[in-house]
């Protein structure tokens, strides 16, 4: 997954946060940072949240980058899936949506401040 910001303009702080995200993925932190994409991206996203939802894996940060891009999918979850009973509203908390790499890094850091990392194998 790309480590580039969604817009072409960003500052040194965002550069540092993007570097942190890239290093976190290569280091011991487990996270999914999901950029706008196609069917394969949707498959990876739904697989990640399903594994967390069904307790097949311990929780980890799942972050959708690009609020406008993901808005239709989130709206469909709220307007269709929740009323149909296929997901619970609380399950929307299994992932976060942001445009800001700094916010993404903060979400990750806050998660790992209060979470003990446990290997699934």
Range of the domain at 24: 13-113
DSSP calls for 92-103: GGGSEEES-HHH
Encode pLDDT of 29-80 as tens digits: 566 677 888 899 999 999 999 999 999 988 889 999 999 999 999 999 999 9
C-alpha atoms less than 13 angstroms from C-alpha of 11 in its C-beta half-sphere? 3
Task: Count up the domains in the chain and report the number.
Answer: 1
- The CA distance from 62 to 27, in Å, is 16
Spatial contact of 47 and 17, defined as CB atoms under 8 Å apart? no
**pLDDT of residue 26 exceeding 70:** no
How does residue 5 score in pLDDT terms, banded at 50, 70 and 90? very low
Whether 118 maps to a domain, the answer reads: no
| Residues across the chain | 121
Spatial contact of 117 and 28, defined as CB atoms under 8 Å apart? yes
Q: Find the CATH number of the domain harbouring 75.
A: 3.40.50.450
Whether 7 maps to a domain, the answer reads: no
Helix axes 101-113, 12-26, angle to 10 degrees: 50
Stated pTM of the model: 0.72
């Amino acid at each position: 997954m790309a480590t580039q910001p969604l817009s072409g303009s960003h500052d040194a702080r965002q550069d540092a946060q993007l570097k942190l995200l890239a290093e976190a993925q290569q280091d011991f932190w487990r996270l999914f940072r999901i950029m706008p994409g196609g069917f394969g991206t949707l498959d990876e996203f739904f697989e990640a949240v399903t594994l967390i939802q069904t307790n097949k894996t311990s929780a980890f940060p799942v972050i959708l980058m690009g609020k406008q891009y993901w808005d239709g999918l989130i709206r469909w979850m709220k307007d269709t899936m929740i009323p149909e009973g296929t997901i619970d509203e609380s399950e929307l908390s299994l992932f976060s949506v942001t445009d800001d790499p700094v916010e993404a890094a903060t979400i990750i850091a806050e998660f790992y401040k209060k979470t003990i990392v446990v290997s699934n194998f």
